[in-house]
Amino acid sequence: TAVAQAIQRIGRAGHRLGEESRGTMLPMAGLDFLHMPALALAVSRNRPEPVRIPEAPLDILAQVILCITLDEDWNTDRLFDFVKTIYPFRNLSRTHFDMVINMLAGSFKQTRIRELEPRIYFDKMENTIRAAKGMRMLLFSSGGAIPDRGYFQLREQDTGRLLGELDEEFVWERNIGDTFSFGPGQWRIQRITDRSVEVTANDKTFAMIPFYKADPQNRSFQFSETVLELLDDERKSLQNPAVFLELLQTKYFMDKPSAKNLSDFLSLQRQVTKTGLPHRHHIVIEHCCDKTRENNRKSVIIHTFWGGRVNTPFAVAVSAHWKKTYGYPLEYFVHNDLVLFHLPHDFSARDLISLCGSLDVQNLLKEGLPGSAYFGAQFRENAGRALLLPKGGFGRRMPLWMTRLKSKKLLAAVLDQPDFPILIETWRTCITDHYDLDTLAKLMDEIKTGSITISEANTIIPSPFAAELSYYMTNKYMYEDDSLAASATPSGYIAGINLSPDFLPKISADLINEFDAKLKRTFHGWAPDSPHELLSFLEDRVFCTLAEWEELIQACSRDSGEQSACFSEPLAHKTIQIKIRSATLVASRSHEKDLRVLAEEEDRPKDEAKKTASAEKLQRRPELLAQYLRYHGPVSEEKLANLIGLGRQQYLEITEVLKTEDLVVQGFLAENSTDKFICDRENYERLLLLKRSRARKAFKPVPAEYLFPFLARHHRIISPHTGIDGLKEALEKLFGFQALGNLWETAILPTRISDYRLEFLDTLLLKSNLVWSGSKNTVCFLLQDEIEYFINPQSQNSEAASLFPSLKGKYTLKDIVTESGKTPAEARRLLDEGIRNSAVSNTTFHFVRNNELVKKRAAEKPDPIRKKHDWKHIKPEDGFWFSLAASVKNEKLPEKSGPLEELELKKERVRILLSRYGIVFRELLVHEMMGFQWKDILPALRVMELSGEIAGGSFIMGIPGLQFALPKEIEQLNQVGNEKPVYFINACDPASLCGKQIECFKNILPARQPGTWCVFHGTKLVAAVKRDGAEAEFFCQSDDSNFADYCRIFQFILNRNCSPSSSIKLMRVNGKSSLQSSFRQALEKAGFMADYKALVLRRTL
């Protein structure tokens, strides 16, 4: 698509009436001087490559099916008819459609690859399908046709401004302090996170240039003919170089210096190879033999200039033919202009002519293509589009190496599955979309007939045309690609572990039972919540024992509160029970044949056809037992055979197959048990990870009062931050928390930043990607590119949207009034409405601050009636207004429909909450916004606990129910009891436990009111100051040695930067007049003075 891209980019220029679009191409070196004039000629002829619409792409079909079936059941026949009305799928075959349905339904899950878990519920009896739970979030986070490259974001550290993207392999090789060029400037790396590189401007005159390792872009033969035409023009004017220089300037649009550089470059190629240049009817074979190489290995470079769409299948076919002939593959490198082979012996033009006459390209591609990096890269991209390799999720970067690793594992598992649709789609993509086999056949015929002549050259180092190959060869060996390894060995956490069963790590019985119950979904809160989901779960398992089925139904009844019959009766005609010896097994009717395979006796039929059929059925038994073990923890081998009705000899034969295929672990796996157990290998790995995460130092639950200093220290209220950088760190724990607008700068931020000033926040709002969002009478802070985690701005539908000429712009109030024709008062009203609907925001915090002041002034004295467009009332500090919807990539977040829906989004929200609190439980989250409350995140907490990312348990006494925490924070909980700092927290602060409905604090903490402050000494509440100092309750003695420290809260209220009080009149202390209180003398020592009605503390300048 080089010509089409050039036309499109040049067409962006000259966007003025009557002006022509112009573009300048800047060749840097070498072949650039050859390609760019050819490109200019193709552009001038308006010959872009033809558009190729993919025919029935099966990877996109998988997305289409999931989208259509999100909200309702679809009959597969009706769905097929509907899909065929979409133009690219007009010729879709029913066979390919059914393959995609089976893939999405989990038909390939026997490959043991987690990426092939079911994504739809397929009721084969009713012939209906429906997207599984969690698919809405999968589509929302990973849908689309553009492959994920795993790039790092490049951001300016001070402002957070996005500068661009960097290849992850370039980032891996960098260190803090490295400098590099990007765009017009130089940058120094200050910080590297898991998804971004933060830099500051650098004044160095020299710095490295980032590299990007992209997948190769194959040039079409149509454009290659233009390149060959230029080379042919050079041949025709060989006797008169001046004519060629003139031709380059007139026909190929080159300036004189560039034309001279190209002419010299081509002359150098002639001198080195001592033969003519390649052109449409001439190719050159260059024999490059470096005498310093070991084994006299020789490089043969075939200069074709046919383009990658022709050169790539040619190289793959030659390599496959070589392997077929000599027993080993031929190493090759492909370029748009040439093909390089590493050969152990001589290769001549005669060999190439002979080769072209015998190559069966189609069949050779089938043999050589699957192991190539090119095929692996296409498979990875197709699997990503089919949602088999999901992206990292919201704001998270999925490393490309990890995606490649998963893709290789998936490809290796399905390579022998000819009906796997993504494999078929990869073949179609390569053969039809990316390769030009018709042109290759034509060119090979021309070589065979002599229409294309061949010249040979001998060189010691690669010729100028081949000089770039050194880079591509280095790139190949230095960086991993998508090609499959020649041989694969079992890998994983316990690879080779069966060799020493006596030394396997043992798992506690409690952990095994808990893990087993969660896999079988009988654990409390894990049971299916509908008959539909219960049947789908049974189909995934294939079969279970009758006792397990009855236990699962009881768990469904327990968790849902419904009668057991509500689950068993609707499925009675969709399930089947078969008795095998002493065991009774249950399966869905769609798996009846599988169940009968287990029941079938191993007789020896005389008929050969029956013998073959019987053998095929018996081969299915190991797969069925492996599937059964996937939903269990370690199972005693002595019990397992009886559980599913297998004879001892049958059981031994089947488990031997599973051991050979490295699917199970056998040994003494349970603590305090002499029984030998068998366990699914992946499940055993997960158990080991869980054991490791729980094997930390035993933690004794701490008293509930430890939460006070723990949260205060976690938020740096104890030992606060300083400066604007401190404000950044403080806000990272506060993103998404909704608080009254005036509280942010009077109570929340000043307690975390000791030298807080109003301009700190305004600077961040103006120069970074920090924004604030309103909701009714509250305000929260967010990062602009993470808005989707927290809110759903509706400015498109808000009346405030009509104020903005463009939703992507930022405007002053004066601009808004001018463009909309509204009065300043009306514009402010609409903006205020937009703020309350989380639709608009401002680049400063003045509006939030001044809104409170305006309300106070209005209560004292009404404002005069303002005339229309009275600009004196529009002040510069109003800042710039903008729409929050412009920052949201999707207009609406997916709706919730079950405990597993939006799992990835919920996991991100859990991480945000753990950043805020360190530990989470139901009562702690009652004041969080929708989506962040306990019922919303509990499914994600369970998944993260199972994976070992977080720990669950009882860490704090007096808190009922489940508690989850980061492992590092559990240790901090134990240490806070040893410290006794004095600190104060506003009752509405995120770190405050006031109003949290925690039973043990109900009679201790005051009400959650914005004017109320709690003063603590270590874990003890020592004072509660209400109405911003008008009332106080002390829970200490008046002669307490720390009493003066307890009174620092009053000085804070007087001297804070925002809305300070000139004086505090303390009217009542412990329910009595302050003048009559036993604390009067202690308060006077703290600076209070007696007035005629109260104790007064005045601010001193």
- DSSP-derived letter for residue 46 is T
What is the per-residue DSSP string for 269-325? HHHHHTSPPPBTTEEEEEEE--TTSGGG-EEEEEE----HHHHHHHHHHHHHHHHHH
Give the bridge partners for 811, in sequence order. Answer: 881
**Cβ burial 1067-1100 (10 Å sphere, 16+ → b, else e):** bbbeeeebbebebbebbeebbbeeeeebbbbeee
Q: Label the pairing between strands 1095-1098 and 179-182.
A: unpaired
The total number of residues written for the chain in this structure: 1101
Q: What is the pLDDT of residue 862?
A: 44
Helix (H) or strand (E) holding 440: helix 437-449
Is the distance from CB of 155 to CB of 163 less than 8 angstroms? yes
Which residue type is seen at 781? F
Q: How far is CA 328 from each of CA 299, 301, 331, 482, 633, rounded to the nearest angstrom?
A: 17, 20, 9, 20, 44
Which pair of structure tokens corresponds to residue 274? 């001592």
197 near 189, Cβ under 8 Å? yes
Supply the pLDDT for residue 871: 40
Q: Is 449 helix (H, G, I), strand (E, B) or coil?
A: helix
837: Cα separation from own chain's centroid:
29
**E strands, 751-903, where?**
770-775, 778-783, 810-811, 840-842, 881-883
Going by C-alpha positions, the residue among 834, 736, 836 that lies closest to residue 791 is 736
pLDDT of residue 1035: 93
The amino acid present at 257, given as its one-letter code, is P
CA distances from 355 to 158, 188, 348, 358, 360 (A): 62, 54, 11, 5, 10
User: How far apart, in whole angstroms, are the C-alpha atoms of residue 990 and residue 928?
Assistant: 9
Give every CB contact of residue 1047 below 8 A, 6+ residues apart in sequence.
Answer: 1083, 1086, 1087
Which contacts qualify for 113-118: CB closer than 8 Å, 24 or more apart?
113/409, 113/410, 113/413, 113/414, 114/682, 115/383, 115/388, 115/389, 115/406, 115/410, 116/388, 116/410, 116/413, 117/540, 118/536, 118/539, 118/540
State residue 352's pLDDT score.
65
- Listing DSSP states for 393-416 in one string gives -TT----HHHHHHHHHHHHHHHTT
Give me the pLDDT at residue 857, please: 35
Residue 219 DSSP one-character state: P
**pLDDT tens-digit series, residues 931-972:** 898 888 887 887 777 556 788 778 888 887 788 888 888 878
Strand spans (E) along 106-212: 120-123, 128-131, 152-156, 162-166, 179-182, 185-192, 196-202
Please state the domain extents for the chain: 152-202, 221-478, 497-689, 717-895
Q: Which residue has the tokens 């070991």?
A: 294
Q: Is the whole model's pTM more than 0.75, yes or no? A: no
Between 546-560 and 531-541, two packed helices, what is the crossing angle to 10 degrees? 150
Task: Give the pLDDT of residue 639.
Answer: 81
Closest CA to 967 of 918, 923, 1000, 1024: 918
- pLDDT at position 267: 92
Please give the Cα distance from 555 to 974 (Å, whole number).
36
Structure token pair of residue 525: 């809160």
Q: How many CB atoms lie within 10 A of CB 903?
A: 19
CA triple 148-152-156, angle to 5 deg: 140
The one-letter code for the residue type at 495 is A
Planar angle of CA 388, 392, 394, nearest 5 degrees? 125
DSSP secondary structure code for residue 204 in this structure: -
As given in the structure block, the two tokens for residue 1001 are 């604090």
DSSP 866-902: PPTT-GGG--GGG--EEEGGGG-SSSSPPPP-STTTT
What is the per-residue pLDDT for 134?
Answer: 79
Residues in the chain predicted with pLDDT less than 70, given as ranges, are 1, 109-114, 194, 204-207, 211-216, 290-297, 344-349, 351-353, 355-358, 392-397, 469-503, 598-619, 692-698, 792-798, 851-878, 886-902, 946-948, 1101
The Cβ-side half-sphere exposure at 517, using a 13 Å CA radius, reads 15
- 115 vs 384: CA distance, rounded Å: 11
